[in-house]
Each structure stands twice: as C-alpha cells, then as structure tokens.
Amino acid sequence: MSNRQSEIAAALAVVPPFADDHAIDQEIERRKAFIKQCLTAAGLKVLVLGISGGVDSLTAGRLAQLAIEELRASTGDTDYRFIAVRLPYNVQHDEDDAAASMRFIRADVEETVNIASAVQGLAQQITQLHELSDARRDFVMGNVKARVRMVAQYTIANANNGLVIGTDHAAEAVMGFFTKFGDGACDLTPLSGLVKNQVRAIARRLGAPDNLVMKVPTADLEELRPGKPDEDAHGVSYKQIDAFLHGEPVGDEAYAIIVKAYDQTLHKRELPFAP
C-alpha cells in the first residue's frame, strides 16, 4: 500500500474487506444501530430517502426500514416511520428497476415527486444556460436535477420532522462523484466507509435480487446520455477503485486517476472555505 492509498483510506474511514458472512452481518447490525442512534440523538422519528433504482439507495433504504421497524418494536412507538421517495425527471429510463427497488425495500410510506416542472421552471429563468453548448448545458442541468431532488427530500423531511439519508460511500467519495449540495447533502450517511463491492455484499445479504445488486451504476443525470455508467465518467472501474481503497495494487494509470480525482474534489468533502 502506498502512502497516498493509506492516507486516503484513513481519511474516508474505509472498512476493511469482509472476511465472511458473519462479518457482513455484523456490519449490517452496526449500520442499523447507527441509523437508530442518529434518530434518537436528534429526538426525531422519521427518515426520508430518495430511491433511484441503484444498489446504493436500495441498500440504504432497506437498512433504514429495518432500523425503523426495530425502533417501533423496542419502544412501542408507532410514530417511527421511513418514507421512500421516487424522484423521476419525467419518465425514468430504468423505471422498472426503481419500482423493483421499492418492492424490495417495503418502506412504511412511498411517495413520488416528479421534479421535471421544477427543474424546467428554474432553467427558464437562468439566461446563461441558453448560451452554453448542448453538452455543457446538459451537464449543468444534471446538477440542477440532483439539487432539486434534495430540495424535495428536505421539504418532505421538514414537513414530517425527519432526517434525510444520503447514499454516499467511500468509492464515490474518493472520486468526488456526487453533486455538491445535491445528493451530497444529507443528515446521515449509513453507507459511509464502504467500497462498492461491500455495498453490493450487504444488499445481497439482505436478500436483494441479483439483477439489482449487480446493476451497472449510473447517476442518470444527463439527457444526452441517459443511463451513462459511472465508470465511463470515472475513467476507472469500481473494481479498481475498491482495490485502491483496500490498499491493493492497481495500475499506474488507475492510481493517477483516482488520486487526481480525490485531490481535485476535496472541496466537496469539506465545509465551505473560510478565511
């Protein structure tokens, strides 16, 4: 392991590789306990999470629902509940996967908020957007979608006196692969420190269908390339990112890409700059 690998892994509190199923079960229990502790410490009883159809929100959503069920059972308080929110932009291209994720999570409350009119209404007011190239405008609007989705989640959470769950984990954090103040904004991150294959291992252990566990990850924010794989944007695979974070050897090119992404996106993982 290089010094940079160990430094970055420590900064992201990367969880060591799972030795066996027992280790996965222990991690599941630790994550559920974390979720319950966050709610208890805040004096609140509601959790909110947007469900995209990917393995990250699938896993975080199921952990949240299980944690809420355990809180209800241990306290006898039926006010504890988990709200899973679909946030499509018009018609989602992988709608079937999102619907399947909702069926697996079995949330106490299911809601759908179509963000298209909010995104388009804002875009019409920003004249600079019309001066951009199609590709650049598509990229900027992708970030708008992510931020509007988080506004919707916080609106629901505020209306229900709840907390918003984020789905960031170590393999995304190291690449800065999230929208600042979009999907990067939340109250708790129950997947923090996990690499991608660990998120998948937990999802599989929780009983998720394999087609959802192994689905090609995509942020799905760009209209010109709907369903664009994360790995195309990264320039490296999640297998390489996971190996890097776990201190395993990776090729020189992959190493350079990951370190550069980590250094350039530091501002996303820190509080706003201050003098």
Q: Which of 27, 97, 168, 172 is catalytic?
A: 172
Residue numbers in the known binding site for ATP are 50-57, 167, 196, 218
Residue numbers in the known binding site for Mg(2+) are 56, 172
The structure tokens listed for 209 are 């269908």
Residue numbers in the known binding site are 50-57, 147, 167, 172, 180, 187, 196, 218, 267-268
Q: Which of 56, 168, 220, 242 is catalytic?
A: 56
Residue numbers in the known binding site for deamido-NAD(+) are 147, 180, 187, 267-268
* Known catalytic membership, residue 172: yes
Integer Cα distance of 197 and 188 in angstroms: 21
Q: Show which residues are catalytic.
A: 56, 172
